[in-house]
Amino acid sequence: MVHSYFFRMIFLSSGACMVEFSFMWLSLCLSTPQQLVGVVGLEIHAQINSSTKLFSGSSVCFSAPPNSLVSFFDASLPGTLPVLNRRCVEAAVMTGLALNCNINRKSLFDRKHYFYADLPAGYQITQQRQPVAEDGTLTYSLLEGKKRSQVIRKNVHIKQIQLEQDSGKSLHDDVHSQTLIDLNRAGVGLMELVMEPDMSCGEEAAAAVRELQLILQALGTCQGNMSEGQLRVDANVSVHRPGEPLGVRTEVKNINSVRYLARAIDYEIQRQIGILQRGGTVQNETRHSLPISLTSAASFFRFMPEPNLPPLIVYEDNASLPAGIDACQAVVVQKIKEGLPELPSIKRDRLVQTYGILPEHSFTLVNEDGLVEYFEAVLMATKKEPRKVIGWVTNELLGHLKQQDLSVSQSPISPPALAELLELQETGHISSSVAKQVFQKMWRSPGKTAAQITQEHDLGLVSDTAQLHSICQKVVDSHPDEVGTPNILNKLMGLVQKETKGRADPVLVRKILQEKTS
């Protein structure tokens, strides 16, 4: 008997890996010629962003009640036939184009057999012989150096992108010795991206997956939420000495956080190095938390052509459509190419070139959904230089957002409101330290403008010469011994600012203090 069960998994967050990995795993990415080094190849299952499944009209929704989104075809009732979802094909073609793949004008569907309760047909429809896209490249970057300002670009080859169905979900209830099945996910469209073993450590794999995640999100072909299983990674890991043939690989399946991916790979590399150094041999095995261990030998799966689906044909352009085929019903590569959005790497380069910001800032901007748009909206409303605005966006704003676990769209300070604050500083109405105080107060009282807060709390710049003269005199008089010592000016300036709570006009104060101490 099949029981229904809904199981919401809790996984580690997948955020901002670019910032976190560089140093921790750097040592594993480097080697001398005789050392054993890691070799990593990833298979990535990306859930296609479509409202319906790959071969049926059932809806796709992560949090629906168990077994509420299951058509007769999804449950493999006899006599039901697959109907290919054009949206899913378009998504795979678009992803292939963004990753510089060759798009096969004709691709084929196959059955891959395995027996498991969450796969009621006993086989999965996939593309083993001729996938929709092949032979592409993913370019990703590592940030290195003390200030993480050195951008190292790397490539990983994409062997193929294939369309396939997802399985259902099984949950093993040990207490009652039963398996609970939810078929809501059964038949959801996936793109499996198979990468060549071009990476060498967890940090590289994590950076590649993060870049892919950003690309898929920019394309809109996959939402890329790893904690909801929309992006699942199988990591194939081996070790060898450079120049020698690749070693035996093990596979860590179904990894659903970028952070865990890096850790799992580096742990596995170290484990294999340990085995070889002790004189042992690495076994070809699957190391994962799933209850079964599938062998990856192709013969095990008894692949066969899917008899219920004709070859999948895509067309180069409208001119190549055969007579009688409606352009709206066909997948036309040229049309998809024209609709490709700006990809993250292009966006970063544009930000660096247009605004003169540092590469590491362009990574921070692009990593955070909506932050580029926020930054550009602030720039539209202020005359302040982009290089001065960037720190406010990546430090003040992002810092506050992260602290409260908010997204950019939830920021209590809108781009025009921040621009107004920066204008007050730029035009000399408030000092830079006061600007930070005003920012905090704006954060806490949304709706209040920077000017209102400055006025209410009397934070305007003090530039009254007589008033500043008397404050400076007081400060100089209270430090008679130090006048004439090196760096005294900076110290006295600090004391004047303390006296005025950061409101004194720094240019005037410096001038007055110079006169008084010379």
Ligand X SMILES: Nc1ncnc2c1ncn2[C@@H]1O[C@H](COP(=O)(O)OP(=O)(O)OP(=O)(O)O)[C@@H](O)[C@H]1O
Stretches 190-198, 318-326, 364-372, 433-441: which one binds ligand X (CB under 6 A)?
Answer: 190-198
Nearer to ligand X, 37 or 216 (CB): 37
Listed residue (138, 141, 137) closest to 21, CA to CA: 141
Nearer to ligand X, 261 or 422 (CB): 261
By beta carbon distance, the residue nearest Mg ion is: 43
Stretches 233-241, 339-347, 478-486, 504-512: which one binds Mg ion (CB under 5 A)?
Answer: 233-241
- The DSSP element (H or E) to which 437 belongs, if any, is helix 432-444
Nearer to Mg ion, 48 or 422 (CB): 48
Torsion of CA 97, 102, 105, 110, to 10 degrees: -100
120 binds, among ligand X, Mg ion, none (CB under 5 to 8 A by kind): none
Nearer to ligand X, 23 or 300 (CB): 300
Instruction: Look up residue 340 and give its two tokens.
Output: 């490709």
Residue choice 50, 236, 272, 454 for contact with ligand X (CB under 6 A): 236
- The least CB distance from residue 251 to Mg ion, in Å, is 5
CA distance between the termini of the chain: 93
Contact 191, 126 (CB under 8 A): no
* Amino acid present at 507: V
**Number of shown-chain residues binding ligand X (CB under 6 A):** 17
Residue choice 96, 197, 229, 415 for contact with ligand X (CB under 6 A): 197
Stretches 138-146, 203-211, 245-253, 421-429: which one binds ligand X (CB under 6 A)?
Answer: 245-253
Q: Is 344 among the residues that bind ligand X (CB under 6 A)?
A: no
List, in sequence order, every residue forming a beta bridge with 171; answer none if it has no partner: 180
Contact 446, 412 (CB under 8 A): yes
- The least CB distance from residue 44 to ligand X, in Å, is 9
Residue choice 20, 43, 135, 376 for contact with Mg ion (CB under 5 A): 43
Listed residue (113, 160, 109, 168) closest to 137, CA to CA: 160
Alpha-carbon distance of 428 to 430, in angstroms, equals 5
- The least CB distance from residue 405 to ligand X, in Å, is 34
Dump the DSSP string for 261-322: HHHHHHHHHHHHHHHHHTT------B-SSSS------GGGGT-EE-TTSPPEE-BSSGGGSP
Nearer to ligand X, 163 or 471 (CB): 163
What sign results for the dihedral spanned by CA atoms 314, 317, 322, 326? Answer: positive
Nearer to ligand X, 234 or 420 (CB): 234
What region does 148 belong to: left with phi over 0, alpha with psi -120 to 50, or beta? left
196 binds, among Mg ion, ligand X, none (CB under 5 to 8 A by kind): ligand X
Alpha-carbon distance of 238 to 434, in angstroms, equals 55
256 binds, among ligand X, Mg ion, none (CB under 5 to 8 A by kind): none
Nearer to ligand X, 233 or 379 (CB): 233
410 to 439, contacts with ligand X by CB under 6 A? none
- The least CB distance from residue 159 to Mg ion, in Å, is 9
Q: Is 249 among the residues that bind ligand X (CB under 6 A)?
A: yes
Contact 72, 280 (CB under 8 A): no
3-class SS at 254?
Answer: strand
201 binds, among ligand X, Mg ion, none (CB under 5 to 8 A by kind): none
Secondary structure in 3-state letters for 350-363: HHHHHHCCCHHHHH
28 to 87, contacts with ligand X by CB under 6 A? 39-43
- The least CB distance from residue 15 to ligand X, in Å, is 25
Residue choice 50, 170, 213, 238 for contact with ligand X (CB under 6 A): 238
Stretches 164-172, 231-239, 305-313, 320-328: which one binds Mg ion (CB under 5 A)?
Answer: 231-239
Residue choice 26, 246, 290, 304 for contact with ligand X (CB under 6 A): 246
Over its C-alpha atoms, the chain yields an Rg (Å, rounded) of 29
Nearer to Mg ion, 38 or 41 (CB): 41
Alpha-carbon distance of 320 to 308, in angstroms, equals 26
- The least CB distance from residue 179 to ligand X, in Å, is 22
- 215: which residues sit within 8 A by CB, 6+ positions away? 95, 98, 99, 138, 343, 344
- The least CB distance from residue 277 to ligand X, in Å, is 18
Dump the DSSP string for 216-235: HHHHTS----GGGTSEEEEE
* Amino acid present at 325: I
Alpha-carbon distance of 350 to 244, in angstroms, equals 41
Nearer to Mg ion, 20 or 43 (CB): 43
Dump the DSSP string for 271-286: HHHHHHHTT------B
- The least CB distance from residue 233 to Mg ion, in Å, is 11
- The least CB distance from residue 48 to ligand X, in Å, is 17
Contact 195, 159 (CB under 8 A): yes
- The least CB distance from residue 205 to ligand X, in Å, is 11
253 to 312, contacts with ligand X by CB under 6 A? 296
By beta carbon distance, the residue nearest ligand X is: 41
Nearer to ligand X, 233 or 438 (CB): 233
Contact 345, 353 (CB under 8 A): no
Contact 352, 358 (CB under 8 A): yes
- The least CB distance from residue 41 to ligand X, in Å, is 2
- The least CB distance from residue 249 to ligand X, in Å, is 4
**Count of CB atoms situated within 10 Å of the CB of 71:** 18
Q: Is 228 among the residues that bind Mg ion (CB under 5 A)?
A: no
Binding site for ligand X (CB under 6 A): 39-43, 194-197, 234, 236-238, 246-247, 249, 296
